[in-house]
């Protein structure tokens, strides 16, 4: 039987990048605000490695829906 590994925050299969974004969130933040908090310049990389995986895992949600 294979057990899933838990992150240091207790979420199964959370990458280090997802954990980083979770630790940075204190309230509702824009992508720009989160990216600035994490000192990440590349928007594409931030979305691919941090934001989208956290959303897909159900750990954070979008507060503004885009068309």
The pTM (predicted TM-score) of the whole model is 0.66
Beta carbons within 8 Å of 63's beta carbon, 6+ residues apart: 28
Query: Token digits for 55?
Result: 């959303």
Question: CA dihedral in degrees (13, 33, 46, 18; nearest 10)?
Answer: -10
**Residue 1 in this model has a pLDDT that exceeds 50:** no
Express as a percent the part of the chain with pLDDT over 90.
Answer: 27
Query: Token digits for 56?
Result: 């897909």
∠ at Cα 63 (46, 6), nearest 5°?
55
Q: Which residue has the higher pLDDT, 59 or 41?
A: 41
What confidence score (pLDDT) does residue 10 get? 58
Residues 38 and 45: their CA atoms lie apart, in Å, by 12
Mean pLDDT for the stretch of residues 22-33: 84
């Amino acid at each position: 039987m294979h057990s899933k590994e838990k992150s240091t925050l207790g979420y199964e299969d959370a990458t280090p990048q997802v954990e980083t974004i979770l630790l940075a969130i204190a309230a509702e933040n824009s992508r720009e605000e989160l990216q600035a908090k994490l000192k990440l310049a590349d928007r594409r990389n931030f979305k691919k490695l941090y934001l989208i995986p956290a959303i897909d895992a159900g750990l954070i949600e979008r507060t503004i829906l885009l068309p």
